[in-house]
């Protein structure tokens, strides 16, 4: 073997070794962040998006104590986690959990269970794995007591669509399990997605202008109007039959969890969609999750489906140790006076909206 070939081979090995070492160090750093993302100590909020959601079970502001047996699990999607303008602006006390903290923190450990989009059955599955000891690192401290509280935040905007599109449970394969040990994969995907968005925005490419950017809805409260993207609705793209099927699926999942943990007190809190809260007078564009020809719907049909979903949930979730809370009327009343969703993030509540949800939760859920 010639000297040049040996040098090339040696250099290739060194490059490969250096690359693997660098990736390993980054991965270990992300593992550290996954267990130390305490925002009370100025951990940057927006950095959370680079951490796999399974690393954010400790409510994103403080670690909990094992000296207290009164534990509350908040189950839900990005609404439960606190997405919105306050989060984007790195403001403090931006989520429902932060507002509940003022009422319950003195005697309660609060944990967040928001991992798989708007999919409560999947989140309950993950919570059960944690309670069994299979995913102990998710909250930092194994929960040994069989007595605990669970708040389920059902979001009218896409919960039913999400479970319809995917009923596959996580951690059912070796590839899924690697998520726990290789957080760099999730961070890489997020960084790649963010980079693409920024590049397309800078280049102003035509293919970056999608129907979601073009189709706007004009929503006015008094003299203040906002141009909003397609609104999330009460399952505008689903038939009544599909709505009933998905609610039955949700009910069965919650019932199974409740039977396995009979001492757990549970509460289901309803979060209405922007379309239901603002009820535009004219036909409006809505956010689609399933392929269909329709781009628009109207408030009459949306409110009809909203009432159907709420009635079904109220009827289905009437078993022992379960409470159903529906703050829709209160939120709609407040929306006559002011916007309760953000300007930067119009799909999520602003600080006032989250405060309203926390007040409804603390008044309606008889847990503590």
Q: What token pair was written down for 294? A: 């329709």
What is the reported pLDDT for 139?
56
* Least reliable range by pLDDT among 63-72, 111-120, 219-228, 337-346: 63-72
What is the reported pLDDT for 137?
59
pLDDT in tens, 298-346: 999 999 999 999 999 999 887 667 899 999 999 999 999 999 999 999 9
Q: Over 80: is that where the pLDDT of 5 sits?
A: no
Number of alpha helices (DSSP H) and beta strands (DSSP E) in the chain: 14, 9
What is the reported pLDDT for 317?
86
The whole-number average pLDDT for the span 177-199 is: 85
Q: Taking the CB of residue 17, how many other CB atoms lie within 10 A of it?
A: 10
What is the reported pLDDT for 129?
84
The whole-number average pLDDT for the span 153-158 is: 96
Angstrom distances, CA of residue 256 to CA of 38, 62, 70, 121, 150: 33, 31, 22, 10, 14
How far is 222 from 58, CA to CA, in rounded Å?
40
Q: Over 70: is that where the pLDDT of 1 sits?
A: no
The whole-number average pLDDT for the span 189-198 is: 86
Q: How many CA atoms lie within 13 A of 356 on its CB side?
A: 24
How far is 368 from 365, CA to CA, in rounded Å?
8
What is the reported pLDDT for 88?
87
Burial of 217 (0-12, 13-18, 19+ CB in 10 A): buried
Q: Pick the more confident residue, 175 or 272.
A: 272
Q: What token pair was written down for 67? A: 């000296």
The whole-number average pLDDT for the span 10-31 is: 84
Q: Which residue has the tokens 């693409």?
A: 196
Q: How far is CA 149 from the centre of its chain?
A: 19
* Least reliable range by pLDDT among 34-48, 50-64, 69-83: 50-64
Q: Over 90: is that where the pLDDT of 120 sits?
A: yes
How far is 233 from 90, CA to CA, in rounded Å?
28
How far is 340 from 358, CA to CA, in rounded Å?
13
What is the reported pLDDT for 51?
83
The whole-number average pLDDT for the span 128-146 is: 71
Pairing verdict, β 149-155 and 265-271: parallel
* Least reliable range by pLDDT among 205-209, 282-286, 292-296: 205-209
Q: Is-contact 280 219, C-beta < 8 A?
A: yes
What is the reported pLDDT for 34?
78
Read off φ and ψ for residue 35, nearest 5 degrees: -105, 0
Q: Output the average pLDDT for the chain.
A: 85
How far is 255 from 316, CA to CA, in rounded Å?
10
Q: Over 70: is that where the pLDDT of 210 sits?
A: no
Close Cβ partners of 336 (under 8 Å, ≥ 6 residues apart): 221
The whole-number average pLDDT for the span 155-165 is: 94
Query: Buried (b) or exposed (e) across 279-314, using 16+ Cβ within 10 A?
Result: bbeeebbbbbbeeeeeeebbbeebbebbebbbebbe
How far is 34 from 29, CA to CA, in rounded Å?
9
Identify the three-state secondary structure at position 68: coil
* Least reliable range by pLDDT among 67-76, 114-123, 196-205: 196-205
Q: Over 60: is that where the pLDDT of 68 sits?
A: no
How far is 104 from 98, CA to CA, in rounded Å?
10
């Amino acid at each position: 073997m010639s000297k040049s070939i040996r040098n090339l081979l040696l250099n290739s090995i060194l490059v490969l070794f250096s690359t693997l070492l660098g990736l390993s160090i980054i991965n270990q750093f992300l593992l550290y962040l996954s267990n130390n993302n305490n925002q009370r100590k100025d951990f940057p909020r927006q950095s959370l998006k680079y951490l796999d959601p399974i690393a954010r079970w400790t409510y994103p502001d403080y670690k909990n104590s094992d000296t207290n047996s009164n534990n509350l699990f908040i189950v839900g999607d990005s609404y439960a986690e606190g997405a919105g303008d306050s989060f984007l602006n790195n403001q403090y006390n931006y989520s429902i959990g932060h507002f509940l903290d003022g009422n319950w923190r003195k005697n309660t450990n609060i944990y967040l269970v928001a991992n798989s989009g708007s999919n409560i059955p999947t989140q309950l599955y993950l919570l059960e794995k944690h309670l069994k000891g299979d995913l102990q690192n998710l909250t930092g401290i194994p929960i040994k007591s069989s007595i605990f509280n669970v708040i389920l935040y059902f979001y009218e905007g896409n919960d039913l669509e999400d479970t319809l599109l995917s009923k596959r449970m996580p951690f059912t394969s070796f590839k899924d399990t690697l998520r726990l040990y290789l957080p760099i994969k999730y961070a890489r995907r997020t960084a790649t997605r963010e980079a693409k968005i920024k590049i397309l925005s800078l280049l102003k490419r035509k293919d970056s202008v999608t129907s979601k950017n073009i189709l706007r809805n004009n929503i006015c409260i008094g003299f203040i109007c906002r141009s909003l993207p397609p609104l999330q609705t009460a399952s505008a793209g689903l038939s009544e039959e599909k709505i009933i099927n998905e609610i039955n699926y949700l009910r069965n999942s919650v019932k199974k969890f409740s039977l396995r943990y009979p001492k757990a007190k549970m509460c289901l809190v309803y979060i209405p969609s922007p379309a239901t809260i603002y009820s535009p007078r004219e036909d409006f564009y809505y956010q689609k999750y399933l392929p269909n020809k329709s781009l628009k719907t109207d408030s009459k049909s949306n409110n009809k489906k909203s009432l159907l979903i709420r009635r079904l949930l109220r009827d289905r979730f009437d078993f022992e140790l379960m409470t159903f809370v529906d703050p829709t009327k209160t939120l709609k009343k407040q929306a006559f006076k002011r916007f309760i969703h953000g300007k930067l993030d119009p799909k999520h509540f602003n600080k006032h909206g989250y405060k309203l949800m926390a007040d409804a939760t603390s008044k309606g859920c008889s847990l503590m």
